[in-house]
């Protein structure tokens, strides 16, 4: 099974052995041939203290501890593109989309849209070496810079109101086609959008994140929080892992969104690592 932990939960384990030590987590994972999933967003949040000279966290120690665990990396940057390409190809042929595989064996491969290998750092290419090399060239950090853009987008949609679900999804598909240079006739967008809406499995991450954004916008009394953008990225991998932890607030939003699209994805959400470990034990 593939397990994706919220960054705060992962830090608790690595720094405080709460609720288990890293070695106990490793034993639980290896006993069932499970893998801990890391994303670039998670690694960026773990490495955020490197941006602050007075930080007390020994970041490299955390990454060396992580290296002892059975790891895989989710290329969440590619999920939207891969889902859309698979869905369009299937729709044109009157078929159901093939399931995409967004996983890779190295962090640096998770950064490219096509999965190609970027220039590697010297040495063995261990996680800690790759993280250090990325920090040296300035491509690591937390999600704080994105919050300044995410919060106004939510506010603007709260003010203007969102279109219906099909219209909202069509707009997202149109943007993604432009972003990823995917050729698709705008005249076909309404029919394609209705086809996607009819079955969430045709583009599960796209559907879930589209609906999750709608849930955030709809709750006008809930102020956006610092970790919301990172959590939104995190949830994009839910359809491709077996279990994921989220803080209680975002777990509530994500479960609502999962139910709204008619999926069973909420069963994969856990509010803490203890719940994940209980499920792994069976």
Q: Which of 36-50, 110-124, 158-172, 200-214 is most confident? A: 200-214
Would you place residue 113 in the very low, low, confident or very high pLDDT band (cuts 50, 70, 90)?
low
Mean pLDDT of 64-68: 92
pLDDT exceeds cutoff 80 at 119? no
pLDDT exceeds cutoff 60 at 94? yes
Mean pLDDT of the chain: 87
Residue range 241-275, pLDDT digits in tens = 999 999 899 999 999 999 999 999 999 999 899 99
Rounded CA separation 79/155 (Å): 26
Mean pLDDT of 185-190: 94
pLDDT at 158: 85
pLDDT at 56: 47
Q: What is the largest CA-CA distance in the chain?
A: 58
pLDDT at 281: 84
Would you place residue 81 in the very low, low, confident or very high pLDDT band (cuts 50, 70, 90)?
very high
Query: Residue with structure tokens 């890293």?
Result: 22
pLDDT at 44: 84
Would you place residue 116 in the very low, low, confident or very high pLDDT band (cuts 50, 70, 90)?
low
Query: Residue with structure tokens 């939510």?
Result: 154
Contacts 24+ apart (CB under 8 A), 239-242: 239/204, 239/205, 239/208, 239/263, 239/265, 240/2, 240/74, 240/79, 240/100, 240/102, 240/103, 240/205, 241/2, 241/3, 241/4, 241/37, 241/74, 241/268, 242/1, 242/2, 242/3, 242/268
pLDDT exceeds cutoff 80 at 149? no
Mean pLDDT of 210-229: 85
Q: Report the candidate in 105, 125, 124, 132 with the shortest Cα–Cα distance to residue 46.
A: 132
């Amino acid at each position: 099974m593939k397990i994706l932990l919220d960054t705060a939960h992962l830090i608790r384990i690595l720094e405080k052995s709460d609720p288990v030590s890293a070695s106990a987590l490793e034993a639980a994972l290896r006993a069932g041939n499970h893998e801990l999933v890391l994303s670039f967003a998670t690694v960026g949040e773990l490495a955020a203290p490197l941006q602050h000279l007075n930080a007390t966290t020994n970041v490299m120690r955390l990454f060396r501890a992580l290296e002892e665990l059975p790891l895989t990396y989710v290329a969440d940057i590619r999920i939207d593109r891969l889902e859309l390409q698979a869905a369009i190809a299937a729709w044109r042929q009157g078929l159901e989309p093939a399931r995409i595989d967004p996983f890779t064996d190295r962090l640096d491969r998770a950064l490219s849209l096509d999965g190609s290998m970027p220039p590697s750092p010297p040495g063995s290419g261990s996680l800690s070496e790759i993280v250090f090399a990325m920090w040296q060239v300035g491509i690591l950090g937390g999600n704080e810079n994105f919050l300044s853009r995410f919060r106004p987008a939510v506010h603007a949609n709260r003010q203007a109101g969102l279109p219906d679900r099909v219209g909202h999804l069509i707009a997202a598909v149109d943007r993604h086609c432009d972003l990823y240079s995917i050729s698709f006739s705008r005249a076909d967008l309404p029919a394609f959008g209705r086809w996607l809406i009819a079955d969430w499995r045709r583009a599960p991450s796209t559907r879930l994140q589209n609906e999750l954004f709608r849930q955030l916008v709809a709750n006008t009394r809930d102020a956006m929080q610092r970790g919301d953008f990172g959590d939104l990225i995190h949830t994009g991998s839910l359809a491709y892992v077996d279990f994921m932890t989220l803080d209680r607030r975002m777990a509530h939003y994500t479960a609502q969104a999962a139910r709204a699209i008619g999926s069973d994805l909420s069963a994969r959400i856990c509010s803490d690592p203890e719940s994940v470990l209980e499920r792994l034990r069976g």
